[in-house]
Structure 1
Amino acid sequence: MSNIRSVLLEQNRPAAEAHFAANTRSEYLGNGTLLCKILGNLRMFVLGDDIGFSPHMIFDGYWEFWLTRYFAAVIRPGDTVIDVGANLGYYTVLAADLVGPSGKVVAIEPNPAVFRRLAASIALNGFGAQTSARNVALAGAGESGTRPFFVPEGEPKNGRFLAPHETPEGLAGHGSVFDVALGSINPDEFERVDLIKIDVEGAELAVLDHLRPVLQKFRPKVICEVNFRRGYSYDRLVATLGTDRLKHLDFHSKLHPLTREMCETEQMGEDWLLFVDFADRQISRGEN
């Protein structure tokens, strides 16, 4: 068993968090890059001007304990995991450790500066054989070329496509805007897909639509950050997924039903961690 898996599943949350914090360390390497020891024994390159995510790697050695523990509980050796919106690669290297040399991880990250650290972290941990990273964004099915991408100052994890009403000039004082390449995920690339993690800051429906052939062929588990103040509704999400058998992951790594009423009355403007198991028989049969 992976040592990370055993810590996450065999220790309670305070003990596991204390273990990771006690075993973290960081060194500044120059050029805005730090190298951190995370999750007890993994290495990760982070950004010195990132105030949202990187400080947690530098001082705590872990991120989003509830989702980290969920990964340890459901990812098995030999699994295939797709990480869409990989950022600096925390979940990518965690998944690579959990799937082991017989598994496969594919990371999708459009931001070139972030991608360079992601690719370097994969290589440094010795995960190159089972892990590939692509410096692209996923958009709607059939869409190709490039699209403008906005990265808020100090918050690369919140990078996103421009909204229809936004312009590069209007965002100039709030971060940087640049074009990113659009790529694709083809189901024929894979022999299996077991879990897809999606964190794409507003592009959720387009990415889910893009991944429809993968979802239909492999029936994976999907964990996706959604927020109903990002221009879509519960009904549009259900229509895109093809099912209303939705769940959400709570802060205790437990799954609960996610209903329309909850989405319309609770956590307004806040994120939900949506969970769908496409292997669910009722979903596979098209029963909502």
Structure 2
Amino acid sequence: MRERIFAAIARRFPTELVGTNRFVAGLWRILFYLFRPQKPFIMRTRHYRLRAHPRKGTLTRVVLRRGCWEARETDFFISQLKPGGFVVDAGANFGHYTLVASNIVGAEGLVVAFEPFPANHALLMENVDLLPTKNVVAEQAGLAATSGALDLIIDEANPGGHSFNPDLIWKQGSKVSVPIYALDDYIRERGINRRLDVLKSDTQGYEWQLISGARKTILRDKPLVLCEVAPKALKAIGDSHEDLLRFFEEAGYSMLMVDRSRDELMPLGYEALKLHLAETGREFEDVIFLPPAGASEARLDGIPDQR
């Protein structure tokens, strides 16, 4: 009975305001801790509906508490989407960026989401099923430099930390063999005859592997690329953030980094960003690579001039 009552409350409560309205957020927390739901329920965010899992172990619990996921990055992501667009979401997890993109690119658009971890892929599918428009292909697979298969190692301490490299795991669990694709191969083999507009990467140190397998597509289509760059994780698998940045610099891209201390997007040149990534104590930084042709067309309101 308690679960049904809370699910009914969640259907009517303005959960889309939890991230922006303190009163609504406070009342939501009171209701949550009063009923203490244990089963998943449907809630609304600003941009989509999702099946929120109240127990620890999934990233949907973060959305349940905060009402949003990566608000600054999401606002910029949305500003760059358009109806009919083609988006690839690598490391989709429960599907935040996939769900956001689906509702904007619409019926004529396409979103391809890659999530290799079976449990997270199941969450992704639950949320994709809630979408009003059926424009998402959700692959239980990863992206890398070449196509094939790899053992994915489960991180029992971090629901977003599953990795192909054991050195990157906080608490190592079991392994599962998953298919991997080079994005160039995937697009060619699936006969996708679209220009890639946006590529989002959250791949736990495999970002250079992903980019290496997508070279042809990136150089041909010049998509906007939102990429979590993890210097130590890259180094742990024998890659480097220098190679990653050099590829985009030589392709004519410019770069923005999410400055969390000031909650803004900060333009950085190649050398400045390379130095920052070498010295930062943070596990990762969120970097946006702006294509040469699209940089002048991108909506960059509120971003300061490069220093």
> Per the shorter chain, which TM-score range?
0.7 to 0.9
- Structure 1 contact 45–88 (Cα < 8 Å) conserved: no
Shift of 1:197: 0.5
* Equivalent position to 2:176, from 168, 178, 190: 178
Distance 1:217 1:132, change over 3 A: same
Taking structure 2 as the reference length, what is the TM-score of the superposition? 0.72
Shift of 1:219: 1.1
Q: Corresponding residue for 1:233? A: 240
SS, match of residue 249 in structure 1: strand
Q: Corresponding residue for 1:264? A: 275
Q: Corresponding residue for 2:138? A: 133
Q: Determine whether 1:248 maps to 2:275.
A: no
* Equivalent position to 2:106, from 100, 104, 114: 100
Give the letter for the 1:214 counterpart: T
Shift of 1:75: 1.2
Shift of 1:273: 1.3
SS, match of residue 67 in structure 1: helix
Give the letter for the 1:137 counterpart: G
Deviates more, 1:248-257 or 1:45-54: 45-54
Distance 1:279 1:85, change over 3 A: same
Shift of 1:58: 1.8
Q: Determine whether 1:215 maps to 2:218.
A: yes
* 1:24-35 map, 5 Å: 28-29=38-39, 34-35=40-41
- Structure 2: segments with no counterpart, 5+ residues: 1-15, 296-307
Q: Distance in 2 between matches of 1:21 and 1:259?
A: 43
* 1:82-231 map, 5 Å: 82-128=88-134, 130-140=135-145, 143-163=146-166, 174-184=172-182, 185-186=186-187, 188-230=191-233, 231=235
Q: Distance in 2 between matches of 1:21 and 1:190?
A: 48
* 1:38-53 map, 5 Å: 38-40=44-46, 42-47=48-53, 50-51=56-57, 53=59
SS, match of residue 160 in structure 1: coil
Which protein is bigger by CA-based radius of gyration?
A: 2
The structure whose RCO (Cα within 8 Å, separation 6+) is larger is 1
Q: Distance in 1 between matches of 2:179 and 2:154?
A: 15
SS, match of residue 132 in structure 2: coil
Q: Corresponding residue for 1:3? A: none
Measured on the aligned residues, the alpha-carbon RMSD in Å equals 3.3
Give the letter for the 2:138 counterpart: A
- Structure 1: segments with no counterpart, 5+ residues: 1-7, 283-288
* Equivalent position to 1:37, from 31, 35, 43: 43
Taking structure 1 as the reference length, what is the TM-score of the superposition? 0.77
Superimposed CA distance per residue, residues 157-192 of structure 1 (whole angstroms, 9 cap, x where no aligned partner):
1111125x68xxxx7963332211113431541322
Superimposed CA distance per residue, residues 115-138 of structure 1 (whole angstroms, 9 cap, x where no aligned partner):
11211211122232x111111111
Q: Corresponding residue for 1:64? A: 70
Give the letter for the 1:235 counterpart: E
Distance 1:172 1:52, change over 3 A: closer
- Structure 1 contact 122–131 (Cα < 8 Å) conserved: yes
Identity %: 22
Give the letter for the 2:140 counterpart: N
Shift of 1:260: 2.9
SS, match of residue 69 in structure 1: helix
Distance 1:172 1:64, change over 3 A: closer
